[in-house]
Amino acid sequence: MLFLELAETFKEMETTSSRLALTQFLVALLKKTPVNIIDKIVYLIQGKLGPDHSSKELGIAEKIVTRSLSLVTGVSLNDIQLEYNKIGDLGDVAFSLKYNKTQSTLFQEPLTVEKVFDTLIKIANTSGPGSLDLKIRYITSMLNNSSSLEAKYLLKLVLGNLRLGIANYTLIDAIALSFTGNKENRRILENAFNLSSDLGNIARILAKGSLNDVQLISVSLFVPVRPMLAERAADSREALKKMRGECLAEYKIDGERVQIHKKGKQIELFTRSLENITFHFPEIVKMFADQSANNFIAEGEVVAINPDNLRYLPFQSLMKRRRKHQIQQAMETYPVLLNLFDLLYYDGQDTMGFAFFKRRGLLENIFGNIKNERLKLVDQIKASNIEEIEKFMTKALRNGCEGLMLKDPNSRYRAGAREWAWIKLKKEYSGTISDSVDLVILGALYGKGRRVGKYGALLLGSYSKIDDTFYTICKVGTGFKDNVLATLYDKLSKLIIHKKHPRVEAGALPMDVWFEPSIVLEIVTAEITLSPVYTTGRNTIKPGYGFALRFPKFTGNVREDKSPEDSTTVNEVLQIYRNQLKQ
Ligand code: AMP
């Protein structure tokens, strides 16, 4: 398949502002893609080279790309830099230089998707001495064979800047429509995706075979399972009612979720957004290497601790462990403890279908006798009345936890699902509603006074999985320390897009800048009110009105462990609003 066909589709997608049109472009593209490269197309659409957990990262340094572009076009490095300063994207610079394919070389062969994909893999795999020259050679050889439109998207891919923002659920809809003609089949694909986290593979299986083949996809070691999620309740009374009077209550720890996969000597750790973080936690790998327990997938919450008394520290301390260098030093300065809370697979068997009490029983059998103060099972009690829950909540808060997680003892593990089988109860923030929300940054207004040259207010949104869309809910300008604001400004400047993202529903709200939805902030608020301005839950309670946060404030926590699709959902906001009415 010619890369030009892909580049032309990218161009069309980039100009659309509706998610429906985006889906239609995807369907047309998938339908004309040869079956043997369908997985590659699926990865490239998302600017990736494979599924998140095993993907080689794109994102070559700009200076390598600038040099390649200079070599191919004959334009000086300086002039390219000047153009780049003006336009802000090297793909767009390549396009504006309008270098002419026919002038570049006599021995041209048209670029194919296969060739581009394979070369991108080679680039991602190249490291060590001499790698710089080799990368430049790979990039120039592709540029030599490309038109300006191809060059534009080629460079966006190489730099990791392809901002089409096609998220998993839009792609799942498109795959269902392309190969089964029916969007309803999305559920089967979603289920396979929740277990295997690899849309390229699912599309290939479906394009080659049938829905039955997709249904055969099951959990496997070293492929992260999408985590089960919790609903939120107003208070313990409501939570217990939802649990039909009996639950297993656990500490809710303010750390990062980690999925541990072990077989023999191989041990790998994944985050809730399926990122492989084995490298960041050598001590956790060692903990499991020292254990005889083998052939399992377990889940737990890793939390930063004060090593003197093992007290839990807040989430921000743990984020200090997210670094590329000096891991050993960070391990000593910011020690961690792991609380195990679930078992998804054991000894060749998928245990997700077992009732929760049975999974916990297995966890106790396997890890209950471990003599390591940094590895334990999460504190848990059986509770059947409100007093027991409240007493346990007080104890949890005293021990540095966020609150409680209540779980239905008879529930199975539902990968990727947010259901009432798990309910979170968090502590009260004084003067605010009883819970924080995690919202994604969608846009910004420029600042005034002290904040000139920075953003004065950020537009935030919630997420709806049903239509894979972000809905606006408030503007926030308080709670930002100057240094946080500066870092955010730098991060956000890389996410600027020239118009509202097609997956954002913002009504007619004017904004100075729009961003690709990416960064998630933790926010507290006094109350949820109805507003004609914002689109979250619009028309649910009152025609023309959506939900808004009153006096929203940033808590200081950038939720680096959450993807935009992990933001608080529109449904959760509705739930919080209803809970508020009851109080
Ligand atoms: P939230 O991120 O507020 O939606 O809360 C869900 C998260 O709480 C999970 O993804 C885990 O990272 C974390 N968590 C902390 N303690 C537990 C626990 N005992 N069981 C399950 N999840 C927990």
Q: For the segment 298-357, what is each residue's pLDDT rounded down to a tens digit?
A: 999 999 999 888 899 988 889 888 877 888 888 888 999 999 999 999 999 999 999 999
User: Superfamily for 437-582?
Assistant: Nucleic acid-binding proteins (2.40.50.140)
User: Which pLDDT score is estimated for 432?
Assistant: 45
Q: What pLDDT band is residue 447 in, cutting at 50, 70 and 90?
A: confident
Burial track 358-374 (b if 16+ CB lie within 10 A, e otherwise)? ebbebbeebbeebeeeb
pLDDT in tens, 377-423: 999 999 999 999 999 999 999 998 989 999 999 999 999 999 999 99
Residue nearest to atom 12 of ligand 1 (CA): 257
User: Which pLDDT score is estimated for 99?
Assistant: 65
**Could you please report the per-residue DSSP string of 475-506?**
EE-SS--HHHHHHHHHHHHTTEESS--TTEE-
Q: Is 377 in the pocket of ligand 1 (CB under 6 A)?
A: no
* Cβ-contact 441, 460 below 8 angstroms: yes
State which ligand 1 atom lies nearest to the alpha carbon of 559: 2
State in Å: Cα 318 to ligand 1 middle.
15
3-state secondary structure of 218: coil
* Cβ-contact 403, 424 below 8 angstroms: yes
User: CA 396, CA 336: separation in Å to the nearest integer?
Assistant: 18
Rg for the chain, CA atoms, rounded: 25
**The pTM is what?**
0.83
Q: Is 217 in the pocket of ligand 1 (CB under 6 A)?
A: no
| Chain mean position to CA 439 | 13
Q: Is 230 in the pocket of ligand 1 (CB under 6 A)?
A: yes
Helix (H) or strand (E) holding 135: helix 131-144
User: Is-catalytic flag, 252?
Assistant: yes
C-alpha angle 128/163/62, rounded to 5°? 35
* Cβ-contact 546, 530 below 8 angstroms: yes
3-state secondary structure of 342: strand
Give percent above pLDDT 90 in the chain: 70
User: CA 33, CA 396: separation in Å to the nearest integer?
Assistant: 54
Fold match between domain 48-159 and domain 437-582 = no
Residue 35 carries which DSSP code?
G
Given a cut of 70, whether residue 251 has pLDDT beyond it is yes
State which ligand 1 atom lies nearest to the alpha carbon of 254: 15
**How many CA atoms, within 13 angstroms, populate the side-chain half-sphere of residue 486?**
4
* Cβ-contact 252, 402 below 8 angstroms: yes
User: CA 166, CA 474: separation in Å to the nearest integer?
Assistant: 24
Q: Is 250 in the pocket of ligand 1 (CB under 6 A)?
A: yes
Residue nearest to atom 11 of ligand 1 (CA): 257
- Sign, CA dihedral 553-557-563-568, equals negative
The average confidence (pLDDT) of the chain is 91
Q: Identity (one letter) of the amino acid at 50? A: G
State in Å: Cα 256 to ligand 1 middle.
8
pLDDT in tens, 28-64: 999 999 999 999 999 999 999 999 887 677 778 899 9
> Domain 48-159 belongs to what architecture?
Orthogonal Bundle (1.10)
Q: Tokens 């890389």 correspond to what residue?
A: 494
Residue 60, token pair as written in the block: 């070559």
Q: Is 538 in the pocket of ligand 1 (CB under 6 A)?
A: no
User: Which pLDDT score is estimated for 428?
Assistant: 56
State in Å: Cα 252 to ligand 1 middle.
6
Residue nearest to atom 8 of ligand 1 (CA): 252
Q: Is 414 in the pocket of ligand 1 (CB under 6 A)?
A: no
Q: Is 427 in the pocket of ligand 1 (CB under 6 A)?
A: no
Mutate to test the pocket of ligand 1, among 231, 247, 248, 253 (most ligand atoms within 8 A of CB): 253
For the segment 115-124, the average pLDDT, to the nearest whole number, is 95
Given a cut of 70, whether residue 583 has pLDDT beyond it is no
* Cβ-contact 105, 94 below 8 angstroms: no
Q: Is 405 in the pocket of ligand 1 (CB under 6 A)?
A: yes
Q: Tokens 């299986």 correspond to what residue?
A: 205
Please name every residue paired with 471 in a beta bridge, in sequence order, or none if there are none.
462, 505
Given a cut of 60, whether residue 105 has pLDDT beyond it is no
Given a cut of 70, whether residue 531 has pLDDT beyond it is yes
**Nearby residues of 212 by Cβ (< 8 Å), 6 or more positions away:** none
State in Å: Cα 402 to ligand 1 middle.
9
Residue 338 carries which DSSP code?
E
Residue in 135, 152, 156, 252 annotated catalytic: 252
State in Å: Cα 257 to ligand 1 middle.
7
State in Å: Cα 529 to ligand 1 middle.
27
| Chain mean position to CA 368 | 32
Residue nearest to atom 18 of ligand 1 (CA): 252
pLDDT in tens, 144-156: 999 999 999 999 9
Domain ranges within the chain, ordered by starting residue: 48-159, 229-426, 437-582
Instruction: State residue 289 phi and psi, 5-degree precision.
Output: -65, -35
Residue nearest to atom 10 of ligand 1 (CA): 257
Q: Which of 271, 202, 277 is nearest to 51 (CA)?
A: 202
Angle between helices 168-180 and 199-208 (to 10 degrees): 0
3-state secondary structure 245-305: CCEEEEEECCCEEEEEEEECCEEEEECCCCCECHHHCHHHHHHHHCCCCCCEEEEEEEEEE
Given a cut of 90, whether residue 437 has pLDDT beyond it is yes
**How many CA atoms, within 13 angstroms, populate the side-chain half-sphere of residue 98?**
1
> Domain 229-426 belongs to what architecture?
2-Layer Sandwich (3.30)
